[in-house]
C-alpha cells in the first residue's frame, strides 16, 4: 500500500472521529462513538493500524509516526467530549443554547458628582452672560486671602479659629503663614493683578473653613466668585446679573432678596437670599468693589469701578434639587449620588 493512501485513511478517520465525539449529545452516544473509533478489538482506529503492515517497508516509519499523532488527536477529542458532558453540556455546541433575548449583565457606569455637574452648569450660564472662568490656588498667602481684600491684620476674619492655617508653612515663611483659602475672593485679586481693566470673570472652586457641619454648613465647600470691572458699573448691574443668574439656574419663579450687609472688600455690601420652604436662606454675598481693593491691585479707583459676588455652590445645588442637608454631598453614598 502506498504511503499516501494510508495517510489519507488516517486523515479521514481523524475528521470522522472528531465529528462523532463533537456531536455526541449524551453519555450513551459518546460511549457508542468511543467503541466505534477507539474500541480495542473492532474499533476503526485498530482497523487502520492493521493496515500499517501493508505499507511499503521503507515508508513504515513515517506511517507509524503519523498514526501515533492521529491516535492522540482522537483520544483528545474523546476526552474533550467527556468533559463537556460532565459540565452539563448536553448538546453539540454550547452556543446553541445562548438566548439572545436575555438581558445582559449591566455595567455600573460612573457619573460626575452633583457639585461638579453644578459647576459646569454655572460656568455655562455665566458664560452666556459674558463671564469667562478663571482659577486660583487653594493654598493661599495672607496678601491674597486678606490684605489686598482690605482685611487688616487685626481683623477677626483672620482669627486662627476661623481659618485653616498651615503650620508647616509658618516655619518657612516666618509670621505670614499660608492657609487653605477661606473664600474665592482671592481670585479677584490674582486676576486684577495680572489683567488690566475691563475684567469680567467668574471663579469656581473649593474653600475651607473650620465650620461645624450641619444641614447648611460644611468645613469644605465651593464658591462661585464673580467680578466685573469697567468704567461705568452700578449696583443695578449687580442686581440684574444676580437676578438673571438665579432665574436661569433656579427657575424663573424663584424669589431672591438683597439684604444690606458688610464685607471689608465691598462698599456698599449685600447678602443675597433665596426663598425656600417658607424661609429665606442666604446663598451669597456681593457688593461694589471697595476703592481700597482697586488701589491694592494697582487700578485707579477714579477711573474704574465694579461689582463682585461670592455664592455658595452647594446651597444653589440644594435649592435646585430640593436637597435639605449639605452633608449628603460628601457621604459618598452611591444611592444618593446616582440620582443626579
Ligand atoms: C464670602 O465668602 C465673601 N467672599 C462673598 C463675597 C464675594 C462678598 C465678593 C462680596 C463680594 P460669606 O462668608 O457670606 O461671604 O460666604 C458666601 C456664601 O458661601 C454663603 O452665602 C454661603 O452660601 C456659602 N457658605 C459660607 N460658609 C459655608 C459653609 N460652611 N458651608 C457651605 N456653604 C457656606
pLDDT, residue 246, reads 97
Residue 223 C-alpha to ligand 1 middle, in angstroms? 7
To which residue does cell 492655617 refer?
165
Cell of 221: 465647600
Cell of 1: 500500500
pLDDT of residue 254: 93
Domain spans, the chain: 3-87, 114-337
With 80 as the cut, is the pLDDT of residue 21 above it? yes
For the stretch 265-310, pLDDT in tens is: 999 999 999 999 899 999 999 999 999 999 999 999 999 999 999 9
CATH 3.30.930.10, applies to 114-337 = yes
Work out the pLDDT band at 170, boundaries 50, 70, 90.
Answer: low
**R_g of the chain, CA atoms, integer Å:** 40
**How much is the pLDDT for 97?**
76
pLDDT, the chain, mean: 93
Q: What's the pLDDT tens digit per position in 243-260?
A: 999 999 999 899 999 999
Look at ligand 1, atom 14, and give the residue with the nearest C-alpha: 285
Please state, for a pLDDT cut of 70, what percent of the chain lies above it.
Answer: 95
Q: Provide the pLDDT confidence category of residue 79 given band limits of 50, 70 and 90.
A: very high
The whole-angstrom separation of Cα 270 and Cα 76 is: 85
- Considering the entire predicted model, what is its pTM? 0.72
- Of 17-26, 71-80, 304-313, the range with the highest mean pLDDT is 304-313
Q: How confident is the model at residue 173 (pLDDT cuts 50, 70, 90)?
A: low
Q: End-to-end alpha-carbon separation of the chain, Å?
A: 80
How high is the pLDDT of residue 89?
56
Report which ligand 1 atom has the smallest distance to the Cα of 289: 11
User: Quick one: which atom of ligand 1 is closest to the CA of 316?
Assistant: 23
Whether residue 237 has pLDDT greater than 90: yes
Distance 312 CA to ligand 1 centre (A): 6
Using CA atoms, how far apart are residues 110 and 117, in angstroms rounded to an integer? Answer: 13
CB of 185 within 6 A of ligand 1: the answer is yes
- Per-residue pLDDT band at 217 (split at 50, 70, 90): very high
- Ligand 1 neighbourhood includes 285 CB (under 6 angstroms): yes
How far is residue 329's CA from residue 218's CA, in Å, rounded to a whole number? 10
How far, in Å, from the CA of 202 to the mean position of ligand 1? 15
The reported pLDDT for the residue numbered 96 is: 64
Q: How far apart are CA 198 and CA 67, in angstroms?
A: 92
Residue with the bigger pLDDT between 290 and 172: it is 290
Atom in ligand 1 nearest the alpha carbon of residue 219: 30
Q: How many other C-beta atoms lie within 10 A of the C-beta of residue 151?
A: 19
- What is the predicted pLDDT for the residue at 87? 80
Model confidence at 169, pLDDT cuts 50, 70, 90, reads low
CA distance readout (Å), 203 to 86, 105, 185, 326: 66, 42, 9, 21
Question: Is 168 a residue whose pLDDT tops 80?
Answer: no
Distance between alpha carbon 51 and the CA centroid of its chain, in Å?
70
Question: What number is the average pLDDT over the span 142-163?
Answer: 95
Secondary structure (DSSP) of 250-308: H-TT--EEEEEEEETTEEEEEEEEEEETTEEEEEEEEEEEPHHHHHHTT--TTT-EEEE
d(CA 181, ligand 1 centre) in Å: 12
Q: Is the CB of 287 under 6 A from ligand 1?
A: yes
Contact 63, 7 (CB under 8 A): yes
What the block records as the C-alpha cell of 14 is 481523524
Instruction: Please give the grid coordinates belonging to residue 317.
Output: 445645588
- In the chain, DSSP finds a helix count (H) and a strand count (E) of 12, 10
Query: For the segment 99-128, what is each residue's pLDDT rounded down to a tens digit?
Result: 888 888 888 888 999 999 999 999 999 999
Query: Mean pLDDT over residues 49-53, rounded?
Result: 90
The residue nearest atom 30 of ligand 1, judged by CA position, is 217
Whether 330 shows a pLDDT value over 60: the answer reads: yes
Q: Is 118 in the pocket of ligand 1 (CB under 6 A)?
A: no
Percentage of the chain modeled with pLDDT above 90: 85
Amino acid at each position: 500500500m502506498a504511503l499516501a493512501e494510508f495517510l489519507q485513511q488516517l486523515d479521514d478517520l481523524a475528521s470522522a472521529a472528531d465529528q462523532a465525539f463533537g456531536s455526541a449529545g449524551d453519555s450513551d452516544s459518546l460511549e457508542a462513538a468511543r467503541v466505534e473509533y477507539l474500541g480495542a478489538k473492532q474499533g476503526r482506529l485498530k482497523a487502520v493500524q492493521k493496515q500499517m503492515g501493508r505499507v511499503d517497508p521503507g515508508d513504515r516509519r513515517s506511517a507509524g509516526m503519523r498514526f501515533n499523532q492521529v491516535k492522540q488527536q482522537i483520544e483528545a477529542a474523546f476526552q474533550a467530549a467527556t468533559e463537556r458532558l460532565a459540565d452539563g453540556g448536553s448538546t453539540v455546541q454550547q452556543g446553541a443554547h445562548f438566548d439572545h433575548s436575555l438581558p445582559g449583565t449591566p455595567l455600573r457606569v460612573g457619573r460626575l458628582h452633583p457639585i461638579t455637574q453644578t459647576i459646569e452648569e454655572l460656568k455655562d450660564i455665566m458664560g452666556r452672560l459674558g463671564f469667562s472662568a478663571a482659577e486660583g490656588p487653594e493654598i493661599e498667602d495672607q496678601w491674597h486671602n486678606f490684605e489686598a481684600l482690605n482685611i487688616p491684620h487685626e481683623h477677626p476674619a483672620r482669627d486662627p479659629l476661623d481659618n485653616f492655617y498651615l503650620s508647616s508653612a509658618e516655619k518657612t515663611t516666618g509670621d505670614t503663614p499660608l492657609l487653605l483659602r477661606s473664600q474665592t475672593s482671592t481670585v479677584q485679586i490674582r486676576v486684577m493683578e495680572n489683567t488690566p481693566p475691563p475684567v469680567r470673570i467668574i471663579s469656581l472652586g473649593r474653600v475651607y473653613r473650620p465650620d461645624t457641619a450641619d444641614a447648611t454648613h460644611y468645613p469644605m465647600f465651593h464658591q462661585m466668585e464673580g467680578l466685573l470691572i469697567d468704567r461705568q458699573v452700578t449696583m443695578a448691574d449687580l442686581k440684574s446679573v444676580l437676578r438673571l443668574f438665579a432665574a436661569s439656574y433656579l427657575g424663573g419663579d424663584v424669589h431672591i432678596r438683597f439684604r444690606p450687609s458688610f464685607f471689608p472688600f465691598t462698599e456698599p455690601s449685600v447678602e443675597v437670599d433665596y426663598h425656600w420652604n417658607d424661609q429665606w436662606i442666604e446663598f451669597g454675598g456681593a457688593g461694589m468693589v471697595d476703592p481700597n481693593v482697586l488701589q491694592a491691585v494697582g487700578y485707579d479707583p477714579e477711573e474704574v469701578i465694579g461689582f463682585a459676588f461670592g455664592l455658595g455652590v452647594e446651597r444653589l445645588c440644594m435649592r435646585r434639587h430640593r436637597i435639605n442637608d449639605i452633608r449628603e454631598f460628601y457621604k459618598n453614598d452611591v444611592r444618593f449620588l446616582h440620582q443626579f
